[in-house]
Amino acid sequence: MTPQADPSGLPRIAVLSLGGTITTPAERPDGARPPLTAADLVSAIPELATVADVRPVVAGARMSADLRATDIAEVARWIDGARRDGIDGVVVTQGTDTLEESAYLLDLLSPGDTPVVVTGAMRNPGRPGSDGQANLLAAVRTAAHPGAVGLGVLVVLDDVVHLARAVRKTHTTATGAFVSTPGPIGSVVEDRVRLGLRPTRRSPVYVWPEQVRPAAVPLVQHCFDDDDRLLRSVGDSGADGLVLAVLGAGHVGARLLPVIDDLVARMPVVMASRTGSGDLNRISAGYPGSERDLLGRGVVSAGALDPLKARILLMSHLTAGAPLPTLAAAYEQASG
């Protein structure tokens, strides 16, 4: 797509549809659920025509559990091409189940300052209280806002604006399921976009070679009274790296240390707090299995990233062939 100048003077916003609940109507009596296209989504909201020159684009039609990292990498390349052709902003619609991960991957793979906003819906079109149209309108308003330039990928749902690196899905069905720590950076009220906070720096940006196999990075959560069997299996699984969701501010049971030492000798091992929010400690404790002990053994701290985001960053770093000695600095940069 090569955007042409819009005589109305409105910003040119592409709406890319990947599928998900926002495109899946409530089931009809005959059982049919024909998916909505990007054009269907846009045409159902006449008010969009007063906000932007919206260009609908179908990029896929699948539920978010079926999206792969290669799909998001392809979207990132499309966005980069559209940016070079003069598009003013991009909205990506997808399912919410993996949105917090795919939006962050898109953030890591998206160079340039063009606003990119990811949105979706918690309730199918046609159901009472369906939120898809409101979310799409708020997302387009945000992508068209001058203040969104240079912020990296944003996530907009329920009239709240989040940074992709900070957002998490915290409820199975509520329309306000998405929250972020330390908090959202803005909101949408009527026709006004309020962006009250700006990050001090963006997440690192990576370039993946085309047709590359994304790095295999399992995520293992440390639990009360577990043993080392699952961790041991990672060493023989062909994994390229590991993210370990540790306890609290950076702790594991001392019983896991021998297998952690073995894994560090084979691959990059990153720790992130299973709590999902807050920065890891570095110097508060030095007992076996503490954060200081793990860092001394060569485990890399994910800083303030939660385990899901830490996995996406490690996958991106390895797939791009970035130097391993720069991994700790990448997590520090991503932590804000």
Place 336 in a pLDDT band, splitting at 50, 70 and 90. Answer: confident
Does pLDDT of 5 surpass 80?
no
Alpha-carbon gap, residue 5 to 110, rounded angstroms: 23
pLDDT digits (tens, 9 = 90+) for 137-195: 999 999 999 999 999 999 999 999 999 999 999 999 999 999 999 899 999 999 999 99
pLDDT digits (tens, 9 = 90+) for 198-232: 998 899 999 999 989 999 999 999 999 999 999 99
DSSP 21: G
Go through 87-114 and write b for each residue having 16 or more CB atoms within 10 A of its CB, e for each that does not: bbbbbbbbbbbbbbbbbbbbbbbbeeeb
Q: Provide the residue ranges of all domains of the chain, joining segments of one domain with +.
A: 12-195, 219-334
Does pLDDT of 1 surpass 70?
no
Phi, psi of 134, rounded to the nearest 5 degrees: -65, -40
pLDDT digits (tens, 9 = 90+) for 88-137: 999 999 999 999 999 999 999 999 999 999 999 999 998 999 999 999 99
pLDDT digits (tens, 9 = 90+) for 25-54: 977 555 556 789 999 999 999 999 999 999
pTM of the model: 0.94
Alpha-carbon gap, residue 37 to 17, rounded angstroms: 7
User: Is 97 marked within a binding site?
Assistant: yes
- The three-state secondary structure class of 189 is strand
Place 8 in a pLDDT band, splitting at 50, 70 and 90. Answer: low
Where are any strands of DSSP class E within the chain? 12-17, 53-58, 89-93, 116-119, 153-157, 160-163, 167-169, 178-180, 186-189, 192-195, 219-221, 242-246, 269-273, 300-301
User: Is 228 marked within a binding site?
Assistant: no
Q: Indicate the burial class of 280 (C-beta count within 10 angstroms; 0-12, 13-18, 19 or more).
A: buried
User: Is 172 marked within a binding site?
Assistant: no
pLDDT at 139 (0 to 100): 98
pLDDT at 58 (0 to 100): 79
Q: Please identify which of the residues 2, 21, 37, 175 carries the catalytic annotation.
A: 21
- Quick one: fold of 12-195? Rossmann fold (3.40.50)
Does pLDDT of 3 surpass 50?
no
User: Backbone dihedral region of 39: left (phi > 0), alpha (psi from -120 to 50 degrees) or beta?
Assistant: alpha
Place 2 in a pLDDT band, splitting at 50, 70 and 90. Answer: very low
Q: Which CATH architecture has domain 219-334?
A: 3-Layer(aba) Sandwich (3.40)
Alpha-carbon gap, residue 118 to 106, rounded angstroms: 9
Q: Indicate the burial class of 266 (C-beta count within 10 angstroms; 0-12, 13-18, 19 or more).
A: middle
* 21 tagged catalytic: yes
Fold identical between 12-195 and 219-334? yes
pLDDT digits (tens, 9 = 90+) for 276-332: 999 999 999 889 999 999 999 999 999 999 999 999 999 999 999 999 999 999 999
